[in-house]
Structure 1
Amino acid sequence: MATESIVLPTLGFDYLRAAKRSRGILADMSDAAIEDVALRYRRFLLLKAKNPTLPIAPTEIIDEMWHLHMLHPVAYANDCMALFGAILDHAPGFGSTDATRPALLRCFSRTAALWEAEFGEPYCVPGARFHNVIVCADEEEEDGGEPGKPGKPAPKPPAPKPPSAPAIFPSLSA
């Protein structure tokens, strides 16, 4: 762990302004607290970039910043493409059922271990609000893996076909 030499990704939107205008838990935080959340979120993004094949799970506060980032779709798309070469998916609700909760907890524990190894500090800040597990990950993972080891990524459903455009001028489409 060489925290001093780590280059974190930048965020392509004014997260301080966006947080203050939001209706979420970030809106009532001080500028310094929002800066801390943004730092944690940027570290989360770096962890994913360094571990692209592993599902990772955010803390509740990191998920708030992730949502705020996604609400700025051009910045989110540009930032993801620069960092990952693709859009980082978001699986809200992963872990909300009895069947998926063990996989989420395993994913969260693995994320915490990666965080501590990379940054030398706890993933969940002891005693801090909103620093716990939330039902969410960047992708779902099937249960069945050993604790601390990933299960198989859950199969993704095929993308729906876009509806065909209605014929505006039916007489011309023949």
Structure 2
Amino acid sequence: MLITDEQFTSCRQTVMDANPNMTPELAGRIVEEALKFVAACAYNPGAGLVPSRIVDEGWHALIVHTAMYADLCQRLGGSFVHHAPGYGPENYAPAILDRTREAIVALGWTVDTELWAAPNDESLVSVAAKCQHSDDSGPIVTIPKPKPKGVV
């Protein structure tokens, strides 16, 4: 396990707090996938990996546990996995999620494919996270890209 049971329980509760009526089982699955995602990013810097919108909800829960998250990144190789939020479902690129899932599998984990749905697929769950990330030069980029200062 990448984090302690107590830390996992706290992160799972954070997901549930942001998503009323979500079951502990589903929230736990989301946190598990977020942990796998962070590990894949840490072990594959610069690979342009991104989470699904559902998995991003779990990543948010990890990040707000700042000391735990910093320690996790340190133990996974020392490279802090940053998050720059962005939203734009039109930027959804299935091939990028495929690459991310392949990186997770390469680390020896199984992917919970139900949680890697397209951003507009709410058949399993609708989450509070309004992020949809797209590939660029790092694990996460801002979408839409901010305009340079002075450009309208």
- TM-score greater than 0.5 by the shorter chain: yes
State the SS of the aligned residue for 2:76.
helix
Contact 1:60-1:130 within 8 A present in 2 as well: no
Instruction: Judging by fraction of residues, say which structure has more helix.
Output: 2
RMSD over aligned Cα atoms: 3.7
Percentage identity across paired residues of the two chains: 19
Q: 1:97 to 1:79 in 2, by over 3 A?
A: same
Q: Which amino acid aligns with 2:52?
A: T
Superposition pairs of residues 21-170 of structure 1, within 5 angstroms: 23-25=17-19, 27-93=20-86, 96=88, 101=91, 104-115=93-104, 118-121=108-111, 123-125=113-115, 127-130=123-126, 134-136=131-133, 141=136
Q: Which runs of 5+ in 2 are unaligned?
A: 118-122, 143-152
CA deviations 1:56-115 (Å, max 9, x no partner) are 111222211111111121111111111130321112116x386xx27x554223213434
| TM value normalised by structure 1 | 0.55
CA–CA distance in structure 1, aligned partners of residues 97 and 27 of structure 2: 22
CA–CA distance in structure 1, aligned partners of residues 39 and 132 of structure 2: 21
Q: Which runs of 5+ in 1 are unaligned?
A: 1-7, 143-149, 155-174
State the SS of the aligned residue for 2:22.
coil
Report how far residue 18 of structure 1 moved: 4.6
| TM value normalised by structure 2 | 0.61
**Which structure is larger by alpha-carbon Rg, 1 or 2?**
1
Residues paired across the two proteins, number: 130
